[in-house]
Chains A and B, each alone.
Chain A
Amino acid sequence: MTKQELTKELEANRKEIEGLKKELTAFKEEKQVFKNVNDQLSAIFDGFNEVVYVSDPDTYNVLYVNKPVEDIFGDVVGKICYEVFQGLDKPCSFCTNDKIFGENTGEAYVWEFQNPVSKHWYRCIDKAISWTSGKHVRLEIAIDVNDIKKYEQELEQQTKTIMELSTPVIQVWEGVVVAPLIGTLDSGRTQQFMERLLDVIVKTKSPMALVDITGVPTIDTQTAQHIIESITATRLLGTQVVLTGVSPSIAQILVHLGIDLSEIETKSSLAAGFQVALNSLGMKVVNTAKGANNER
């Protein structure tokens, strides 16, 4: 080779090396950017208080866990999810994989679960996500909702108490119970009401029941059906029922709705109903004051 040719080759090589150095630098920078993004994402997931993990739906291998999971279960990536998380030797009977794959892929499935060990309630959000392996895998985020659960249960209890308080059934005299209804009757309240009414009647062996709707401002077909159902059940027991407190406006509504109350005895006031009760029990109220007029 001539000196000129050698110099040219050297120059070309030098240029190539410069180019490669630049590429390498760019490559290292890009790698650093990716590492930063990865570290940031990891920091975010590890910063959650919530448990986040990813598992393979076919092999049940754990593919990713965030720090909270690591803290509780240790380094479990690669192990079998039902073994390390639930201590079972086969897939959990309540595994929700069938709810997030197939036709539901991409939809989140939310459910609540009480951990048998800690007794804490968790709200789990499960979803199928695309993984770098090309297939869909299971992602679960579990949020500790124990406090919320406690409030929910308290609220439920209070609602129950309110329901019980608002449908009292009172024995006012031997053989007579009064059930004042206040407000509207939905299906739930009707069940409660019927059960309580019949319970008291059976316990007190009362042959007379007054269902009072003075406190029911307005009535729709559903409420009317519920009241009729309660009365029918009561009569099946052998108890006589009078529907009392039928106001003029309720009377109008009932007729307009075409509700058939012909089989049921009704009165406009509770007092009138009580009179019916006394008559049927063969009793009367006597005024014991001196000179009282007892002709009524």
Chain B
Amino acid sequence: MEIVYKNKVEINSEMDIVEVRKIVREKATDIGFGVTDITRIVTAASELARNIYRFAGSGVMYYETVHNGDKRGIQLIFVDEGPGIENVDVAFEEGYTTAGGLGLGLPGTKRLMDEMELETETDRGTTVRVTKWLI
């Protein structure tokens, strides 16, 4: 499905992580998510944005409302041109740790959202797409 993502946040510094949280909170609230779900979505976004900052230095988060039939939800796409993830299977194992604890937080982040897709290529970058549907 071709969607042009116009809504984005550049991630270049630690302050941008705050911006990501703010924008995602606004968007999730607009869509109609409840308090606990908003907390989950914003936390997941904070984790993924932080990954970009820590491992790639810079990147972008795109955000969009998505529809599936009469369901609607929030979709966030984190793109960076960093080092990529060496071993994706290991990264998704519980307790995977690099750079001082809690590593990429991928298994946990996945649990907070409904769907997660990941594409990565060594030295080329990583794209993580997460979606949560409003029930």
Contact present for B70 and A112 (CB under 8 Å): yes
B135 on interface, CB distance cutoff 8 Å: yes
Complex: A191 Cα to B112 Cα, angstroms = 12
Main DSSP-derived SS at the B contact region: loop
Contact present for B36 and A195 (CB under 8 Å): yes
Contact present for B135 and A98 (CB under 8 Å): no
A111 on interface, CB distance cutoff 8 Å: yes
How many chain B residues touch A (Cβ–Cβ < 8 Å)?
7
Within 8 A of B (CB), among A83-105: 94, 98-99
Q: How far is the CB of B70 from chain A (nearest CB, A)?
A: 4
Answer whether A111 and B135 are a contact pair too, CB < 8 Å, given A191-B36, A195-B36.
no
Answer whether A188 and B135 are a contact pair too, CB < 8 Å, given A112-B69, A112-B70.
yes
Answer whether A98 and B1 are a contact pair too, CB < 8 Å, given A188-B135, A191-B36, A195-B36.
yes
Contact present for A98 and B69 (CB under 8 Å): no
Task: Kindly list chain B residues whose C-beta atoms are within 8 Å of the C-beta of A195.
Answer: 36
Main DSSP-derived SS at the A contact region: helix
Complex: A232 Cα to B2 Cα, angstroms = 42
A177-216 near B? 1/0 per residue, CB < 8 Å: 0000000000010010001000000000000000000000
B43-82 near A? 1/0 per residue, CB < 8 Å: 0000000000000000000000001011000000000000
Task: Kindly list chain B residues whose C-beta atoms are within 8 Å of the C-beta of A111.
Answer: 69-70
Q: How far is the CB of A150 from chain B (nearest CB, A)?
A: 14
Which chain B residue shows the least CB distance to A156? B135
Task: Kindly list chain A residues whose C-beta atoms are within 8 Å of the C-beta of B36.
Answer: 191, 195
Within 8 A of A (CB), among B12-61: 36
Q: How far is the CB of A122 from chain B (nearest CB, A)?
A: 11
Complex: A110 Cα to B68 Cα, angstroms = 10
Complex: A263 Cα to B33 Cα, angstroms = 33
Within 8 A of B (CB), among A123-159: none
Task: Kindly list chain B residues whose C-beta atoms are within 8 Å of the C-beta of A191.
Answer: 36
Task: Kindly list chain A residues whose C-beta atoms are within 8 Å of the C-beta of B2.
Answer: 98
Complex: A111 Cα to B2 Cα, angstroms = 18
Task: Kindly list chain A residues whose C-beta atoms are within 8 Å of the C-beta of B70.
Answer: 111-112
Which chain B residue shows the least CB distance to A99? B1
- Residue among A94, A110, A195 with the highest chain B CB neighbour number at 10 A: A195
Which chain A residue shows the least CB distance to B3? A98
- Residue among B1, B2, B36, B70 with the highest chain A CB neighbour number at 10 A: B70
* A interface residue numbers (CB < 8 A to B): 94, 98-99, 110-112, 188, 191, 195
**Given A98-B1, A111-B69, A112-B69, 9 more pairs with CB closer than 8 A:** A94-B67, A98-B2, A99-B1, A110-B69, A111-B70, A112-B70, A188-B135, A191-B36, A195-B36
A-B CB proximity, top 3 nearest = A112-B70, A195-B36, A111-B69
Can you list 11 residue pairs at the A/B interface with Cβ under 8 Å?
A94-B67, A98-B1, A98-B2, A99-B1, A111-B69, A111-B70, A112-B69, A112-B70, A188-B135, A191-B36, A195-B36
